Amino acid sequence: VSGEFAAIDRLRRALPTPGPGETWIGDDAAVVRAPGGGWLLLAADTLVAGVHADLALTGLDDFGWKAVAVNVSDIAAMGGRPLHALVTVAGPPDTGLDLLYRGIAAAAAAYHCPVVGGDLANAPVLVLTVAVTGTFEGAPLLRSGASPGDLVYVTGPLGLAAAGLRLLKEGKLAPAAALDAHRRPAAEVAAGLAARAAGATAMIDISDGLAADLGHLAEASGVGLALTELPVGDAATLDEALTGGEDYVLAFTAADPARVGEAFAGLPAPICVGRCTDDAATRTIGGRPLPAAGGWEHRWS
């Protein structure tokens, strides 16, 4: 049995080489040239009922919102803005499409990312797939650009989504912020644009958990990570902040804290959580090893 990342790598090796300046599989979104000369960002993510969400705990409208928001988050993580969405619903005939559409349409409106097409098909289980396009101005902002000495920032508290899900499962009263983080995650488009303006050298969104996702960034950049302290969300544990995932805050690296402060004027200030080191094997928090595991991987034989 192998993991999702190994399986993706098998596909990647079967593909031709990207064009000049392009990035295909391996970042939050693909970076390709648009017809006419601009940059186009492309991303797709799928949510499976019972795997990615328990529909006894989450409404179909929340499920629809989340499918759009997690895709927009992939565009935000490139310092881009979303343009259009394609929505594909495969599900049983009794799927409550109107409620599902309500959440999809709400997220599409919130992120200025209209649904321009898609497909609708019957399947034994609800599988909701969204593909988004986006664009950016300037140079591609990838996972791989961090240098030793760059500061590491996150754009919001961590662990809220995991805490919200845990409290829902336990039937306990959860803080609104934790419930919202689980049910209606926000894509940080404005923060992504600010990070780009701040001269961010690398960026990723926290979908698999901070430890896993910063690990992806550090590995792609060939740097180590010496983290200090994390902004742990209310009601969340440190473990949830490190490995819970699905927070969809952005993590980015940048060299100049003054520039970061200026670029985020009017937005919640990003929190510095540590620094990139030149020893690529370093992965510490408060001097102790970062948890190596964490982050959900789908299984493939």
Sign of the torsion angle spanned by Cα atoms 50, 75, 100, 160:
positive
The region of 82-90, 180-188, 238-246, 283-291 touching a second copy under the rule CB under 8 A is 82-90
Regarding 189 and contact with a second copy (CB under 8 A), the answer is: no
Question: Residue holding tokens 């019957």?
Answer: 122
Other residues' Cβ atoms within 10 Å of the Cβ of residue 75: 28
The tokens describing 24, both together, are 């295909």
- In the complex, the smallest distance separating the C-beta of residue 75 from a second copy, rounded to whole angstroms, is 12
Query: Hey, which residues between 124 and 143 contact a second copy (CB under 8 A)?
Result: 124-125, 127, 129, 131, 133, 135
- In the complex, the smallest distance separating the C-beta of residue 298 from a second copy, rounded to whole angstroms, is 4
Residues 33-52, one symbol each (x = binds a second copy by CB under 8 A, - = not), give: -xxxxxxx-xxxxxxx-xxx
The one among 93, 171, 266, 287 contacting a second copy by CB under 8 A: 93
Backbone angles phi, psi at 288, to 5 degrees: -100, 160
The one among 55, 120, 139, 269 contacting a second copy by CB under 8 A: 120
C-beta closer to a second copy: residue 32 or 197: 32
The one among 32, 57, 99, 238 contacting a second copy by CB under 8 A: 32
Question: Residue holding tokens 């970042």?
Answer: 27
Regarding 59 and contact with a second copy (CB under 8 A), the answer is: no
- 202-211 exposure pattern, b = at least 16 Cβ within 10 A, e = fewer: bbbbbbbbbb
